[in-house]
Amino acid sequence: MSRVPEGPATHCPYCALQCGMNVAGGEVTPREDIPANAGGLCQKGWTSAELLASPERLTTPLLRGRPATWDEALGFAAARIRAVQEEDGHDAVAVFGGGGLTNEAAYQLGKFARVALRTAQIDYNGRFCMSSAAAASGRAFGMDRGLPFPITDIGRADALLLAGGNVAETMPPFVRHLTRMRDGGGRLIVVDPRVTPTAALADLHLQVTPGTDLALALGLLHLAVAEGYADLGYLAARTSGFEAVRDSVAAWWPERVERVTGVPVARMREAVRLLGTAPRAMILTGRGAEQHAKGTDTVTAFVNLALTLGLPGREGSGYGCVTGQGNGQGGREHGQKADQLPGYRKIDDPAARAHVASVWGVDPDDLPGPGQSAYELLDALGTPGGPKALLLFGSNPVVSAPRAGHVTERLGALDLLVVADLVLSETAAMADVVLPVTQWAEEAGTMTNLEGRVLLRRRAADPPPGVRSDLAVLHGIADRLGRGDLFPTDPRTVFDELRRASEGGIADYSGITYERIAAETGVFWPCPRTGEDGGPHPGTPRPFLDRFATADGRARLVPVEHRPVAEEIDEEFPFYLTSGRVLAHYQSGAQTRRVPALNAASPEPFVELHPDLAERLGIEPGDTVLVRGRRGSSECVARVSAAIRPDTLFMPFHWEGVNRLTNPALDPVSKMPEFKVCAATLERRTPPRATAVAGAVAGAVAGAAVGAAVGVAVGAVAGAGNIVAAGTERAR
């Protein structure tokens, strides 16, 4: 068996920047050699080592709430899996994965579902993150890669439009690239319903009504054509479908778009002028534009705009998606998604099935077909004909799923729930079997960041006694099901098999090795085994320079049409409710809420509302309020800020709360739920609570929260040793 790589040089456990860091003696320092952060870290990164020694770490399996041995826990899980499948068939057991798993664990999880369990029912929480951008990029370019160019290209752009992304809070070291762009004379345009810290950095803020990003994109494209910014030579040489798209946006004249979106015509014209006259321009989308029941069409509209301006495939220009989760890119490439096999192959493609089956040593006919998407799978749990057992790795749907109260009920209806996690998350607390697993610095493996750069995560710390890796857990269950020989526990062995399984696919990793990643600080996929000269392939940092990944090499413009949000506001629920992140926390908060410094910076859920609305409702900063929607309600603290529209409420999703209200209406293509807008109302419940007053009042001063977060982002850009967050200095 080859030796698992170890050493202090590793990567952050949080967002898709995958910032390089060194971990030694329980302390973190940033690495200079990883271009995404090049010496900078955010507050989450600086404090990440604290979770390694958290008193809330799970160190022994739990069997129905009591400590158990590994043999007891795995034996119980395997016996119940076998019994459920004997009674109700293979698909009666489902698997739910996560976008934070290493490539090796994500690959092995997909293989485990299809080979050890022979179930079609597998999906993962990345469906809630990147699926709309992935679907739109696939149909336009033939390939889904978050940024089809190195992140350092951003610093050389002359204009950049960011639709629905708040990188200053979600991934602060990203801001260094925007700052470099602006220092060189580039202009930043941000589309967002809130004056987020990122919007506060922008030269031009387009403050849309929630759910109208698609209409805005159609209007910008109308203006680009009408005002002569369409690159007709590029369109003729490198694309197809422009005429149909041009005709489809003819009715989206600027004044109509202003009525729908609330964005003034003059601002739209200025945005198009900046993009249309820039020698190098970029359009990026984030979750704000994508997490809608029309998210795929929204991203398609922005892609159409980028293609009309002639941006994709030109060095220094292009379209990209700001991927969120740590391995959001790699996690969706190698088999966790319901419809995919390793290498970004389609599971219903006979050639793909034959290739992967040959690597796995099974009959292609034994591989199941496509399963249900993430929310559809969760919604079916415990229902007649639905899965009766669920194995869950690296996800916390009690907090993160839409219509979370309903999803919690469905989890409670299962005959068996097995959760592998490092802490007792809200979902793990419901489980029949809880399996304690290693975390980032305690395991080796690869991650693929938002650029498509495959990085090496080294084991830099010993896990607590009694804790096992995800690979060991999968082997343990598979072994008790009679398939353990197919599931090795050594990450390098698994990666070498992943390389063979991905070979020839869209996401081809066959030419990537641990040694190359270490020597080159990451390798861009696609990277076949050999290059055109017969030697090692160099990797592909900019895959669209010569041709797109479609059959004819041309990018496709696809006509799309704006439609209303899935749930309109009305007299009973008169406000738009949107959700997002705050600087101190990450995803469902299962990790960051257990880091004292981060929890102190943002200790509890809140709702942000405009001063005019607060005055009308008699709500003061720090009041306890009840936010209600058609599917549930949530009690939290009021923060009053002019950074939000008067018709809109904002809640962070790091706690149980906002997702009790969110709408599970699904995009018909990507199956993305409509996280970013639903109808709500709110009312004052009680006077301010002492624990909440300080934080709430701090947020009440218009622009204060924005200014603080911008300061943190700027600190991260500088790579400073001291990071200021929520007024508190965090030293190395």
Nearest to 659 by CA among 624, 635, 638, 632: 632
- The alpha helices in 232-323, defined as continuous H runs, are 232-238, 242-248, 254-261, 265-277, 287-290, 295-308
- The answer to whether the beta carbons of residues 713 and 172 sit under 8 Å apart is yes
Asked whether residue 478 carries a pLDDT value surpassing 60, the answer given is: yes
What topology is assigned to 132-321 in CATH?
A: Dimethylsulfoxide Reductase; domain 2 (3.40.228)
- The answer to whether the beta carbons of residues 571 and 712 sit under 8 Å apart is no
Asked whether residue 506 carries a pLDDT value surpassing 80, the answer given is: yes
pLDDT of residue 670: 96
Q: Tell me whether strands 678-686 and 624-629 are parallel, antiparallel or unpaired.
A: antiparallel
- The answer to whether the beta carbons of residues 575 and 569 sit under 8 Å apart is yes
Q: What is the mean pLDDT of residues 309-314?
A: 97
Q: What are phi and psi of 576, to 5 degrees?
A: -80, 135
Amino acid making up residue 344: Y
Q: What is the mean pLDDT of residues 208-236?
A: 98
Nearest to 224 by CA among 263, 261, 188, 278: 278
Q: What are phi and psi of 715, to 5 degrees?
A: -60, -40
Write down the CATH number for the domain with range 575-730: 2.40.40.20
State the pLDDT confidence band at 695, using cuts at 50, 70 and 90.
very low
- The answer to whether the beta carbons of residues 443 and 457 sit under 8 Å apart is yes
pLDDT of residue 140: 98
Instruction: Sketch the domain layout of the chain as residue ranges.
Output: 52-128+327-524, 132-321, 575-730
pLDDT of residue 357: 98
pLDDT in tens, 66-123: 999 999 999 999 999 999 999 999 999 999 999 999 999 999 999 999 999 999 999 9
User: Which residues are within 8 A (CB) of 257 and not within 5 positions of it... i.e. 6 or more apart?
Assistant: 215, 216, 218, 219, 222, 263, 265, 268
Phi-psi region at 183: left, alpha or beta (left = phi > 0; alpha = psi -120 to 50):
alpha
pLDDT of residue 130: 86
pLDDT of residue 689: 54
**What is the percent of the chain where pLDDT is above 70?**
93
As a whole number, the mean pLDDT across the chain is 93
- The more confident residue out of 6 and 113 is 113
- The answer to whether the beta carbons of residues 487 and 113 sit under 8 Å apart is no
**The two structure tokens encoding residue 90:** 């293979």
pLDDT of residue 700: 39
Q: Tell me whether strands 445-448 and 433-436 are parallel, antiparallel or unpaired.
A: unpaired
Question: How many whole angstroms separate alpha carbon 427 and alpha carbon 560?
Answer: 38
Residue with tokens 């369990």: 117
Q: Each residue of 321-341: b (16+ CB within 10 Å) or e? A: bbbbbbbbbbbbbbbbbbbbb
- The answer to whether the beta carbons of residues 449 and 329 sit under 8 Å apart is yes
pLDDT of residue 6: 66
Nearest to 82 by CA among 111, 107, 110, 119: 119
Q: What are phi and psi of 323, to 5 degrees?
A: -60, 145
Compute the Cα dihedral for 471, 476, 479, 483 and give only its sign.
negative
State the pLDDT confidence band at 693, using cuts at 50, 70 and 90.
very low
pLDDT of residue 699: 43
Question: How many whole angstroms separate alpha carbon 441 and alpha carbon 104?
Answer: 15
Asked whether residue 656 carries a pLDDT value surpassing 60, the answer given is: yes
Tell me: cis bond preceding 526? Omega within 30 of 0 counts: yes
State the pLDDT confidence band at 25, using cuts at 50, 70 and 90.
confident
Nearest to 114 by CA among 354, 475, 360, 476: 360
pLDDT of residue 692: 40
Nearest to 49 by CA among 16, 31, 24, 15: 24
- The answer to whether the beta carbons of residues 546 and 559 sit under 8 Å apart is no
Task: Identify the DSSP state of 441.
Answer: G
Task: Identify the DSSP state of 193.
Answer: S
Nearest to 325 by CA among 470, 420, 449: 449
Asked whether residue 720 carries a pLDDT value surpassing 70, the answer given is: no
Question: How many whole angstroms separate alpha carbon 461 and alpha carbon 7?
Answer: 8
pLDDT in tens, 399-434: 999 999 999 999 999 999 999 999 999 999 999 999
Phi-psi region at 443: left, alpha or beta (left = phi > 0; alpha = psi -120 to 50):
beta
Amino acid making up residue 54: S
Question: How many whole angstroms separate alpha carbon 180 and alpha carbon 171?
Answer: 16
Nearest to 219 by CA among 183, 177, 266, 174: 266
The CA distances from residue 16 to 99, 208, 353, 416, 671, in Å, are 10, 26, 29, 32, 22
Q: What is the mean pLDDT of residues 210-224?
A: 98
User: Which residues are within 8 A (CB) of 411 and not within 5 positions of it... i.e. 6 or more apart?
Assistant: 378, 381, 382, 390, 397, 398, 417, 427, 430
- At the top level of CATH, the class of 52-128+327-524 is alpha beta
pLDDT in tens, 589-640: 999 999 999 999 999 999 999 999 999 999 999 999 999 999 999 999 999 9
Q: What is the mean pLDDT of residues 505-526?
A: 96
User: Which residues are within 8 A (CB) of 184 and not within 5 positions of it... i.e. 6 or more apart?
Assistant: 155, 156
The whole model's pTM is what?
Answer: 0.94
**What is the percent of the chain where pLDDT is above 90?**
90
Question: How many whole angstroms separate alpha carbon 249 and alpha carbon 252?
Answer: 5
Asked whether residue 711 carries a pLDDT value surpassing 80, the answer given is: no
- Is residue 176 exposed (0-12), middle (13-18) or buried (19+ Cβ within 10 Å)? buried
- The answer to whether the beta carbons of residues 219 and 257 sit under 8 Å apart is yes
Whole-angstrom Cα Rg for the chain: 24
pLDDT of residue 5: 65
- Full DSSP string of 202-240: -SEEE-PPTT-HHHHHHHHHHHHHHTT---HHHHHHHEE
